[in-house]
Amino acid sequence: MTKQVFRKTIWTDKYLQMVNITKQIEEVVQSSGVQNGFITVQSMHTTAGITVNEGLECLEQDIHEFLNKLVPENASYHHARLLPDYGSTAGNATGHLKAMLVGNHCHFLIQNGKLEKGSAQDVYLYEFDGPSKRTYCIILEEFLEGDL
């Protein structure tokens, strides 16, 4: 098995935002030359998540509203206090909690050089503390002939 790792950076422009990164992932798979294997997409942040869902604007709104009900912005959080090590007050507890609920990675199979996903599946980077510069990793693991 061989591995390739790619880092991708995007800038989000909203406090809460869902960014569809499916095309970027498919481009990496295509340009990598990997024919058969696995792909992992992982967020490098604790206030941004990675997950799979259907790419519909109305569903994106439903997801935001659902997460805001679970983790309301105006609730009292222990993280909203002075953090001497950071030299500032942490005000992003909701971002950490929402990212924890969404998760930080997803996996897919690669077959015949293509990402194997359902027709309604898209990969999203969820921003919960933006706007910000966000990095995610794409890890490709290719099966070699003797691996199967």
What domains, with CATH codes, occur in the chain?
Answer: 2-139 (2.60.120.460)
The pLDDT tens digits of the residues spanning 62-113 come to: 999 999 999 999 998 888 766 677 766 678 999 999 999 999 999 999 999 9
Q: Is residue 37 within 8 Å of 141, Cβ to Cβ? A: yes
pTM of the model: 0.92
Q: Is 93 helix (H, G, I), strand (E, B) or coil?
A: helix
Backbone angles phi, psi at 26, to 5 degrees: -60, -35
The pLDDT tens digits of the residues spanning 20-29 come to: 999 999 999 9
Q: Is residue 124 within 8 Å of 43, Cβ to Cβ? A: no
